[in-house]
Structure 1
Amino acid sequence: MLSTWEDVKTLGLSLGLPKVEVATSWGNENLKAHGKMWTWWSPYVEAAIFKGDIEEREMLMAADPDTFILHSHYAKHGLLLVAAGRIDPDWAEARLRGTWRQLAPKRFLKDWDAGLVDQA
């Protein structure tokens, strides 16, 4: 299980995906993909934050409330908070890869899928 921001950051950077960078937003380190926030650590609660949507978050919280949590700061946003020490690396990798694809411009993704883009 992943327990810290360093664990999540290391996983994200290890995926070898292009257009991924370490950045700082609102005074906190995060990873950006294609210039957009991709994953980060909450400054409000010990949890990693991944992109998702409110319906998915509600379903995950109902299924596993010890792992998928919510802080009031994020209530209006489609973000998934995963409690420190309960972040499954396989789940996180699949989530990061899927989100990376969602954030990619369509033309870039077409070239990536065709093998025309070098890895990071």
Structure 2
Amino acid sequence: MTFDDIRHIALAWPEVEDGSSYGTPALKVRKKMLVRLKEDGDSLVMPGVPPDERDMLVESQPKVFYFTDHYRDYPMVLIRLSKARRSTVEPLLRRHWRTLASKQAVRDYDATVA
């Protein structure tokens, strides 16, 4: 996967827009970070992943999921896009989008998908 793939997925959802964070491309929902590209150009910074879930992801797929000491105390996981599959990343991305989007946007989106 690439950041462009992530953009293509997320920009189809209401209230998602391009932005930047720490000088790197990011996607935001109502001015809050959905995801951002890490400075290495291959890793995605994914907020909204509790430490216990992050530990499980890292343990089950260490080539895809990881974190550094900098992110240890935050509910975030890093994703190596070059090793990731859409079927793995999209559900995490969508779940985080649902926490950031307005309730109305989520209801409207669910109504169009159903």
Band the TM-score falls in, shorter-chain normalisation: 0.7 to 0.9
- In the alignment, structure 1 residue 65 sits paired with structure 2 residue 86: no
Shift of 1:6: 2.5
Q: Which residue of 1 aligns with 2:87?
A: 90
Identity score, percent: 29
Larger fraction in helix: 2
Q: TM-score, normalised by structure 1?
A: 0.77
Equivalence for 1:30? 26
1:105 aligns with 2:102: yes
Q: Aligned partners of 1:114, 1:46: CA distance in 2, in Å?
A: 34
Contact 1:45–1:71, Cα closer than 8 Å, also in 2 = no
Residue of structure 1 equivalent to 2:4: 6
The worse-fitting range, judged by mean Cα deviation, of 40-49 and 63-72 is 40-49
Q: Give TM-score, length-normalised by structure 2.
A: 0.80
Match of 1:46 in 2: 42
Instruction: Please give the alpha-carbon distance, in whole angstroms, between the structure 1 residues aligned to 2:93 and 2:26.
Output: 13
**Superposed CA RMSD:** 2.1
Distance 1:91 1:63 in 2: 12
Q: 1:44: how far off?
A: 5.3
TM-aligned CA distance change 1:111 to 1:46, over 3 Å = closer
Between the aligned partners of 1:111 and 1:85, the Cα distance in structure 2 is 33
Structure 1: runs of 5 or more not aligned? 116-120
* Conserved 8 A contact 2:37-2:43: yes
User: How far is the alpha carbon of 1:54 from its aligned partner?
Assistant: 1.0
